[in-house]
Structures are given as structure tokens and as C-alpha cells.
Amino acid sequence: MGGHWSSMDPLKVDVPQIELLFERDSYLKIYEIEIRKRYALFKDFIEKIEKGDGSLDKFSKAYENYGIFIDDKNQVTCREWAPGAHEVYLTGDFNNWQWIQTPFTKQEFGKWELKLPANDDGTCPIKHLSEVKIIIKDSNGKLLDRISPWARYVTEPEDKSQGTNYKQRIWNPAVDDKYKWKHDKPKKPESLRIYECHVGIATSEHRVGTYLEFANNIIPRIVKQGYNAIQLMAIMEHAYYASFGYQVTNFYAASSRYGTPEQLKQLIDTAHENNIVVLLDMVHSHASKNTFDGLNEFDGTDACFFHSGPRGVHPLWDSRLFNYGDYDVLKFLLSNLRWYMEEYNFDGFRFDGVTSMLYHSRGLGEGFSGNYDEYFGLNVDVEGIVYLMIANHMIHKLYPDAITIAEDVSGMPAVCRPVAEGGLGFDYRLGMAIPDKWIKLLKTTRDEDWDMADICWTLTNRRWMEKTVAYAESHDQALVGDKTIAFWLMDKDMYTHMSCISEPNSVITRGIALHKLIRLITHALGGEAYLNFMGNEFGHPEWLDFPRAGNNNSYHYARRQWHLADDELLKYKFMNNFDREMNLLEEKYGWLHSDPAYVSCKHGDDKVVVFDRAGLVFVFNFHTFKSFPDYPIGVPQHGTYKVILNSDDKQFGGEERIDASVKHYALPEPWSDRPNKMMVYIPCRTAIVYALE
């Protein structure tokens, strides 16, 4: 047997339990051969890693051996993997750019190495913040400027007249200047309430925000709003700011536009101090096409880290696609995950673009009807699947409290089941159909025509025992070209009628009411975790657009106008208050980590939805004008119920039509498939939550 079966190895592969998958979903049984093949390939690659590097642990810490290192004696060691290169050199201000003086030595398997002794006086030959470059001589004798794929710190050029390519700088601060961790990581939350955020746009000013500003100004807001996780976007360095961080150029470098690596550590430590877990938006689905400051053509060929030819290019994203079947590419990617966990103390990852990794079509033009043949045919990229299996296996074995989330629109079965069951091993997948449903309704359907059964179906249509992150909108819906839910609801009226002292406006009244209902029903019915993009909790107006040539490099839409939520004279506070109370109520009752809700009523004409979850009873009336006195609803237990959240409350901008002090008595009389019946008053466009006294 391979060494990974040893009980002493923390990364040992578990005994497969694929039969459990078929017990849960018998329809998967006919694909047993394919599922077992995936597991066998996963196990084979682990054995290959152990044979080649001794252990997966060592293999996945390649950042300790690649890139540029300075030891405690101030000696410099440089190692690169450049299989297509004919010669490799290191140059920089340390040698006055005389690259010919510092050649690498070629080793086996495409490896290159260079050692530089300390200076005669014992100092390091390459100083902290020195600029360096890798010079690659290709097969045609052409010299190519490159940045090391393992670069820890790259910066934008100060003088734009000299070009816009990012520069690699040595990050080796003095011991006293290195950040010292002060706080332990929080435990994994039972209920995950994620605040999706972007450091650069987290300031209200017309500029790029910083790590420390986020730590000092935004984390207190997140805590107050009742979120227990942040998902940091656009941290891995990307030369093009307007790519929202999804065109990564330097995978090991935390973006310098927001500050230094030590300042990012301080941000994460501040989050941990406040019992907030920090997830990194991890982009391993593709890479920027940049050559001078990216991975593309690093060794002078179109291969190296990527597939050669058309398979290595994503036609829609205009980016490069990793070769997940290559030993050294997996070493680079798995080590990248370890780097952020070990160096920066991240608590997990939201993997971007997983659908692109699962299929040869990259998901383009795929309808994904739910037919299982779509998930087990020739279109499936098994190399991508095996990479994700290894990644999740490694993360969860080494970091038991780590969280991984898959951004997959296809609905592939077992994405969120353990690797030992033949699954991909993710903890959660994003419920991407939910925001699509809300935006489609707001775009195309009159309120009077909303189909309650269809809404409930979208919110509950998820795989049994595969956790879903529910969200009404994320950054995707905020981007220019689309609109946030608040803007779809209220649009131009937000410029003139959001003052608490202005005349009542029917558009604003409807908008705020539906904003609250949409969020609560998504939160309580849609999944086992909840996500909100920063600012959307208070109905941030307008769209999100980064400075670029098309908008004269304006920061007007690349910021968050926090003063809108803070101003007592504006109505944004009502949505903000409701968002906070919704999260605090979930913290108290824990519906996200309870069994899925039981929907007892979805009345098409009345526009009423009733469900119970975690012992609470949720009642929604989406009707445009009808309020219902003495409306009968089914509840799980008999006894006295009280109102614990009510969207019509004054603090949420409501009309105060509900008296929360009134007791509601549930009698042991069956109703709507529930054992007990209760009569309630539900005003139009209102949501109410009841709890047993």
C-alpha cells in the first residue's frame, strides 16, 4: 500500500465510502464507474506526489523552495521552474541590471537555480524593496523580461511614462517590522453569514482604499451588522484594477495597491480579534494573459503553466487556462493555497469559476438542465475535478476548521460531498440560481404576477446534504451593465425621495418593503449559509464601475457611500436596520444550520408564503394591496407564539400595522400539512417571524 494509508500521516487518504453517495442519491448508481474512476485518479495522483516529493505536505509547500529566498546569513537562493527556457538570469538594481553576471544553473525536470553569497560585510546582496527581474532566453535566442511566478510583492510603476507593467520587489522587512500575530483563528461558525467585500472600494472617497482603513473602519460595521465571515475579493495581485481581481497576474503577491503584506496580516488579525473568519476569493480557474508581469509564456512557450494551443485559452474571459494534469502546475497551485493559509492566516477559500474547471466547454453555451448525463460525459474535465479533489482533501485534512465554497452554476452532484464519497470535497456551493431569479422577476414580471410556488421552488431546489450559500445579490449583480436589487426597485426616485422628511413616494415605499422581503426569504429559505455584497445591505444606490478608459478613469462608482446608511434623515437606515436584525435573529435561533424549511403555504392568489425552520414560523405577504386579518397558517407546535421580527416595524421604515405585543395561540388543529393552526394578521408587502414563547 502507498504511504498515504499510514495512520501517522495527517494527509492520509480516507478509505473510500462511495456507496454512501448512492444511498443518498440512487440515480447516481448508473454512473458508478465514472465516479470510482475519479476517485482512483485522485488516489493515483496522491501516490505520484508521494513518490516524487515524499509527501503531499512537502509538495504543497513548494513556496519554501521556489522564488527568491534570503536566509538568516543573508545568502540568497533563487529557484524557478521554466522547462521551455534555454537560459535564465536574475537581474535588478542589485547588480545595476547587468543580467549576464547572474545566470541560473539548469537542473533536471525544468528546474533552474541561482545562489548569491552575502556581501563581504555580511549584508544581503539584494536589499528589501529592491526591484528584480527574471530574464528568460527562449529557443530563438530572444531575451524576455519576466516576473517570478512565486513573487511575493509586486508594485505598480511610480512613473507611468516608463510603462504600466508591474515590478517585482523583494519583500524582506527587518524582524521588528514584520507583523506579529496577536489573535487565534475563530472556530468555524455553525451558521455562516458572509460579507463579500473589496478593500479598494470600501472607502467613500474617490480613490483606492487600504488594508488598514478596512481593518479600522469597515470591520466594526461588519460586526455590528451581525456577519461572522468576510470574503475578500481582488487580493491576489492583478495589474488591471477594473478586472475586479479576476485577471490574476501574480498568484503569491497580495495586492500592493491597498498596502503591504504586513498590513493585510493586520487586517486579518483584526477580523479574528472580532471573531470573524476570513475567506479569500481564490482564482485558480484561469490567469491573466499578461506576459511581462503575469504567468503567460513565462518560459518563452505558450505552455509551461497552461495548456498549449486552443485548450489553454478561455475564449470568453480572454485568459489562460491551467494544465491541471501537470505535476509542477499542481505543485504551484496547491502550494498557493497553503501559502495563503500559512503566511496570511486565511480561514478558507471561495473558489471562483469552478464551472470552467469542471468542463471542457468551460460551461459556455451549456444550459445545464439537471440531466445527470451532463455531469458524467466526455465534456467533463477530469483533470480539473481531480485537482479540486486534491485541494479540498489537503485543506480539510491540514486545517479542520477551514471552509471552502464552490462557485458552480452547473449543479454537478457531489460537489459538496467528502472526497472519500467520490465528491469534490467543498463545504458549500453558491446558490447562483437565486439572484438570477430575483433579477429576472424585477426585470420582467409585474408584482401582481409573481408566482409564489416558483419562488419557493428556486429557493428550495438544492441537493440534499450539500450545503448552499443563499444570496439575493452579490458583486455580480452590482456591476455596471446590471443593477442592484435596490436600483431595480427604486432607480431614479432614490435621488429625490430617500429623505425621511420628503413626501411619501410609492416607488420608494414599495422598494424598501420588497428589499426587506426578498432578503429575509432568501436568508431563511434559500440555503445553509447567507451572503451579502458590501453596501447592498442598506440598498447602496447605482452600480459598481472601476476606473477605466471607458469612464475617464473615474472613481465615482468604485466606492461605497457609507454616509447614506449613517444619516438619520435618510431612508437607507431602514434597510440597514432590517439587515442587522435579520442576522442577529439568525445568530440566536440558528436556522442556517438547521434542517431545511418546511413550506406549508405558497398561495398563488393571496401571494402568501408560510414556512417553518428552526422552530420559527416565517410568514410573507407579497400582495401589492391586500392585507389579511385572521389568516389561518399551519405551525409545527401548539402553544403561544409572539412576533420576534416584523418588516413593518417603524425602525425598518414600515407602517406599524402590527402590534407585536399581541399573543397568537396555536391550537392542535391540523392545517396546511402542519399539526397546528394559528390565526394571524398579515399586511400587504410584509414579512413576520413568530417564535414560541
- Catalytic residue numbers? 352, 407
Backbone φ, ψ for residue 623 (5° rounding): -65, 145
Q: Which three cell numbers stand for residue 456?
A: 419557493
Decide if 403 contacts 277 (C-beta within 8 A): yes
98: Cβ contacts below 8 Å, ≥ 6 apart: 91
Cell digits of residue 333 = 497551485
Q: Which residues on adjacent β-strands are paired with residue 444?
A: none
Q: Count the Cβ atoms, other than its own, within 10 Å of residue 502.
A: 13
Distances (CA, A) of 71 to 64, 80, 330, 495: 11, 17, 26, 58
DSSP symbol at 212: H
- Rounded-to-integer distance, Cα 79 and Cα 615, Å: 58
Nearest CA to 265 out of 152, 349, 196, 182 is that of 182
Calculate ∠ Cα 650-653-658, nearest 5°: 45
Cα separation, 303 vs 312, whole angstroms: 8
Instruction: Supply φ then ψ for residue 561, to 5 degrees.
Output: -90, 75
Place of cell 413568530: 690
C-alpha cell at 345: 492566516
Burial class (CB in 10 A: 0-12, 13-18, 19+), 105: exposed
In Å, what is the CA distance from 188 to each residue of 78, 192, 193, 400, 421?
Answer: 37, 8, 11, 9, 22
